Structure 1
Amino acid sequence: MNYINDGCSLMFGGFGGVGNPPTLINGLIEKGVKDLTLIGNDAGFPTIGIGKFISQGRAKKLIASHIGSNPVAGQLMVDGLLEVEFSPQGTLAERIRAGGVGLGGVLTDIGLDSMMEEGKQKVQVDGKTFLIESALRADVAIVYAKKADEFGNLIYETSARNTNPLVAMAGNITIAEVEEIVPVGNLDPHDIHTPGIFVDYVIQSKGVDWKWAWE
């Protein structure tokens, strides 16, 4: 947790809380870090995953596709205590992917002639207008996986394989929280979703707090 300090940018995997790394998030809360810029699909739920961190007012900015499942985040935004940058879900995923593969951004026509185009550069390609959406990276990326080996090769389980593979590529430092850690060579290469080259640290999960919400 030494890499995650006050004021840093933190990208997290997960969708509606599912796939958020709870042990890492609880560690951040216990450490007392604040003023983070968070990048992820959504604000989770008030008491689940990243939602717990946001609800405690520890984030200064959130870049996400929506915050509708966390009314506390909505109130913080209205009160001017949380800056929120909305990005359409597909565009957000592509911005993260672009950051992970070293691109400067992506071109999209989503948001043209709406408030989404404010402050963004436009370009013409083959006679069609596009917005330039900047790529997204973070100081640290945290993800949740079902299984990993000691090299950091990751396998995600069902719906927890949402934004996690993209997020894993887009951190200057990537930390994976994993249910099961096995020796190198125990994973079938065909089953690996994130190659270990993208992962800097692997930690053992202490259990999730989001499965009950979807049962």
Structure 2
Amino acid sequence: MTRNLQTIGFDADDTLWHNERFFQLTQERFAALLKDHAEADHLGERLLEAEKRNIGHYGFGVKGFVLSMIETAIEVTDGRVPGSVISELLKAGQDMLNHPIELLPHAREAVETLAEKHHLVLITKGDLLHQERKLAQSGLGELFDAVEIVSDKQADTYARIFGRTPGGPEAAMMVGNSLKSDVCPALEAGSWGVHVPQDLLWSLEHADVPDHPRFVELGDLGTLPDLVSRIG
């Protein structure tokens, strides 16, 4: 008998390990460096606009974030930003890239349990080298049957990736903290979408909760294996 679920896809950042809080801390550091030139709220708005403009150029991740901070610093100082501030922003980016991985609660147990009977795929956005490094440091890499580091997550992204897995999209589930990137497009592709929200979420990842029979929200990853078992 064929199981209803054969493939489980996992997002990485803020689903398996902490990520957004380091962006938030770096943005606070950015605001402190530019406090004589712009209020923190206004600076945050300018930075967000720069990030929106630059996603198409730099993609998602730390490197694009740092370049957007530098661009914003130049803008708000009318080109007079001190070289020392630029150096501090580059150092902040290096600190983010080198920060040790901290797994979220129940992440290891959930992945280990599901790897016993299911095909696991890691599907994440971001810089290729950085994401590969984080996966290696997490100690979870060997539990995944495939790793997909993509430029963006749309319905056709999941249709393509799950189309290569056992049972196709209808026999797949995507698990992540972002409704916009992890859940809604996976549902559109015909898969299950499981939302595991975190306290911190990048504002560009906000989306409305979907009304869909294959949508589930969980408090944490600890209950994921039971959900998968119930679905089949």
TM-score tier (shorter)? 0.3 to 0.5
Specify which structure has the bigger relative contact order, considering alpha-carbon pairs within 8 angstroms and separated by 6 or more residues: 2
TM-score (norm 1): 0.37
Higher relative helix content: 2
TM-score (norm 2): 0.35
Higher relative strand content: 1
